[in-house]
Amino acid sequence: MGKRILVIDDERSILELVRMNLELAGYEVVTGESGQEALQLVASCRPDLLILDVMLPDQSGYYVLRHLREQGERLPVIMLTAKGEREDRILGLRLGADDYVTKPFSSEELILRVQAVLRRAEPVAAAVPAENAVAVQGLMIYPESRTAEVDGQAVSLTRKEFDTLELMMRHPNHVFTRERLLEEVWGYDFAGSTRAVDILIQRLRKKMGPYADRLETVYGTGYKLAERQES
């Protein structure tokens, strides 16, 4: 059996259709119909990916996603939504969603997005020496365990936040365009816009404590992690 996918949707017809197509594609599928079930099943069955409907009978998918990220859960999440407005997509990305699919959608599209998100979720650190921590002044990351510290205090980062910080810490003072960050962190097949980068950088700055200003905006270009000489 392939990777385990948790699907949460209160529309039984959609839930069964998604389950059937994922199983035909070789995945193990667990299903639920409410926000409470989503939180319980994430904890109990430890899925590799969560497909999460926004409109649920008890709690919104956004509430579930926010709760998971606040608890430090890095599980990849694809949002299912009947809303196509830009603000809804931005909210999902701001809360830490990895991708979104707007209803109605084709089964082929969903499978391709699942494959892409799972591919991006594979450990990136295996391609670089993982035994050495990377430090830039008060910031420290450990690629093998994918953990981070600010002045010795552990901070919880999502997968994309960690990958972005690792990339910039390995190349301090290098200016990364938004397009380059999308390519390196999200992957070639990401269907969103460079706005996703801006949202992620905002989230990352909030977690960097006194070093937030080191993550500098290079106007008209992108971002860099400034390594400054201490006076």
pLDDT-based confidence at 205, cuts 50/70/90? very high
Residue 230 lies in a domain: no
Q: How many CB atoms lie within 10 A of CB 129?
A: 9
Q: List pLDDT tens digits, range 14-36.
A: 999 999 999 999 999 999 999 99
Q: List pLDDT tens digits, range 100-143.
A: 888 888 888 899 989 988 888 775 444 444 446 888 888 988 88
Residue 218 lies in a domain: yes
Residue 185 lies in a domain: yes
Strand (E) or helix (H) holding 177: strand 176-177
179 vs 96: CA distance, rounded Å = 19
Query: Which of these three, 105, 121, 137, is where a domain ends?
Result: 121
Distance of CA 124 to the CA centre of its chain: 14
Domain region containing 83: 4-121
Handedness of CA 74, 78, 80, 83 (dihedral sign): positive
For residues 137 and 75, state if they share a domain: no
How far is the CA of 203 from the CAs of 32, 94, 174, 216, in angstroms? Answer: 29, 8, 20, 13
Residue 231 lies in a domain: no
Contact 99, 117 (CB under 8 A): yes
